[in-house]
Amino acid sequence: MQLYGSEIASRLMLGTAQYPSPSVLTEAFRRSGAGIATVSVRREAGNERAGAAFWDLVRDLDVALLPNTAGCHSVREAVTTAQMARELFDTPWIKLEVIGHADTLQPDPFGLVEAARILTDEGFKVFPYTTEDVVLAGRLLGAGCEVLMPWGAPIGTGLGLTNIYGLRTLRAQFPEVPMVVDAGLGLPSQAAMAMEMGFDAVLLNTAVAKAGDPAAMAEGFAGAVEAGRLAFEADPMEPRDMAAPSTPLIGKAFLE
């Protein structure tokens, strides 16, 4: 999988929030084989190096880091947070979130496009957290984004793929654009479904971090992602309304 010219070995991406302990987080990443870790940037007191232990922890995961602007509700806030992330992690990658609705955490489409354009002009490699809206996707690509991250469902809900028609339409409309289903997945089977539909990767956090055994769940998602991708590449059969015998009738004996 190529993202902004970088080869990523795994099609599973994991967030780093809400785990019960650092050791559980580390074990979840080990068993999942995730290729990218997303990290939320917070305003820490620099003179006290607050949060330094956490930054050291995620660096030691030995995976590509994708800082995000989680919790930002305006263009200015998102752009400033992205600039902080670049200084902190020394990477031009940024997962861009501009939240427009407090209850659903749905992205603000207007602010998202504006922030994406500003950050792209500043040399950032933007991974926009968006909806399955085809028009919005086109605007984001026009703003310079080379990857799209449509949601499966609102963040943290575990509802899975709530608009399969919309996701299929988006995937078909931009077949060459790398797309990561981001947010709302709760079960490995939902991740497998996304991969079977032709999406390039999935990103999740809560479904693993809040599981009874996060490391086991992470491994389960890893297997589902791999199975879904293999199924997509195998060119699955088309579903049909009528039964069709799997055993041919030729050579069958007919008794009268």
95 assigned to active site:
yes
Greatest CA separation found in the chain? 93
- Grouping H, G, I as helix, E, B as strand and the rest as coil, residue 202 is strand
Calpha distance 131→152 (Å, rounded): 8
CB atoms under 10 Å from CB of 44, counted, come to 15
Note the residue count of the chain: 256
Amino acid found at 29: F
Calpha distance 97→230 (Å, rounded): 30
Handedness of CA 4, 9, 11, 12 (dihedral sign): negative
Calpha distance 181→186 (Å, rounded): 12
DSSP-assigned letters across all residues of 34-69: -SEEEEE-----GGGTTTHHHHHHHHTT-SEEEEE-
Which member of 95, 125, 210, 252 is catalytic?
95
Catalytic residue numbers read: 95
